[in-house]
Amino acid sequence: MKVLVINAGSSSVKYYLYEMPRAEVLANGVVERIGQEGSNLLHYVGGETHSEEIRVEGVGEAMELILATLAKKDVGVVEDISEIVAVGHRVVHGGDEFTGSVVVDERVIASIEKFADLAPLHNPPNLAGIQAVQRKVPGVRQIACFDTAFHSTIPEVAYMYALPYELYEKYGIRRYGFHGISHRYVARRAAAMLGKGKYEIDAITCHLGNGCSVTAVKRGKSVDTSMGFTPLEGVPMGTRCGDLDPAILFYLGDKGYDVETLNRICNKESGLLGLSGVSNDVRNLAKIAREDDARAKLAVDVFCYRIKKYIGAYTAVLDTVDALVFTGGIGENALHLREQICSGLTQIGVQVDRDANSGAIAEEAEISTKNSRVKVLVIPTNEQAAIANDTYELAGDRLPAGSK
């Protein structure tokens, strides 16, 4: 059974074609710089790269290009796109309506549209990908996998803000959490690595990339997470500020800053970039910091300090912690930052083996010492595989006999 996984953003669409259930990647790629000069397709198949510069104006056009490429004579892997039995889509915001991945129908489409106000950079392109497949392959089964779904188990005491209750009732203002597909995947892998069932593990999972979030997982379920009503809350990120005193925005508003400017500052000009003034990339900042750039060092130190604070807070929430997990581009590769984050956490049972940490680059590994009460793990996230599995399970039950 061939399953196509789509991750559509405002300026790019990533795709993976799997042969299920053996989870073999037949081809993958990305359409980049959508709606911009120099838009292009990168298509990977059989160890080779096919590159094509082509003007792509929107997600719909990108989807048509992807489907055509997958069936193209020289670089394709199917004779006809009808061989693709199901398509799984990453959808960022499902509000509080979805507790797991679902088969796409008109009700689901309406919900994705409704929550577009809460994720304006993500839900509209996610929906555009779904609608493009509907037009091009109208009979194919589609599955929506929500980043918010894993966090649907967060209790009321953790998801409510101390605002007038009617704002929650009228506008749904509450903590939703994001990166759920990633947090769920690494929590399941951590359980397997420790020889536990998926609902037997208590863990703190740190998804650290250009976007960052920390989640408390109790008995395999999310019970708290650092991102909130939007992906802006939580730890500092590449360009996002994370937690701050909301009165700062009121103060700046009185100084003449309008809402659009404040939104841009918080989402695109803050975080590592805002503190350092030079880069949102921790690789660059680590190098510059070693050259005695005080602001670059400050940016890295603030980043690590805030993550450490969340780890401490979630240790209190969980009471017992089996594992601390690092994932995402930073979590999987930035060994010096992992060591800095974990330093001083011996009182909660975290001890890192420096040699093991140095050898753990973008691969599953245990980097804690033998005496560490909490196992410290590096687990590369694989959101596309998680989406492929959900899509196979949901679509497989609804297919005619013999179609797998």
Instruction: Tell me the Ramachandran region of residue 257: left when phi exceeds 0, alpha when psi lies from -120 to 50, beta otherwise.
Output: beta
What angle separates helix 123-136 from helix 59-70, to the nearest 10 degrees? 50
DSSP label at 400?
P
DSSP label at 151?
G
How far the first Cα of the chain sits from its last, in Å, is: 5
CA trace torsion 363, 369, 371, 376 (10° rounding): -40
Q: Is 89 within 8 Å of 129 (Cβ atoms)?
A: yes
Nearest to 386, CA basis, from 154, 145, 208: 145
Catalytic residue among 147, 224, 322, 390: 147
Query: For this structure, is 243 an active site residue?
Result: no
H or E element, residue 224: strand 221-225
H or E element, residue 135: helix 123-136
276 contacts: CB under 8 Å, gap ≥ 6: 285, 288, 293, 295, 296, 298, 299
Cis peptide leading into 400, omega within 30 of 0? no
Nearest to 70, CA basis, from 61, 62, 79, 60: 79
Q: Is 58 within 8 Å of 106 (Cβ atoms)?
A: no
Mark out the alpha helices in 258-325 (DSSP H runs): 259-268, 271-276, 282-290, 294-318
DSSP string, 43-71: EEETTEEEEEE----SHHHHHHHHHHHHT
Cα–Cα dist 227/241, whole Å? 12
Q: Which residues are catalytic?
A: 147
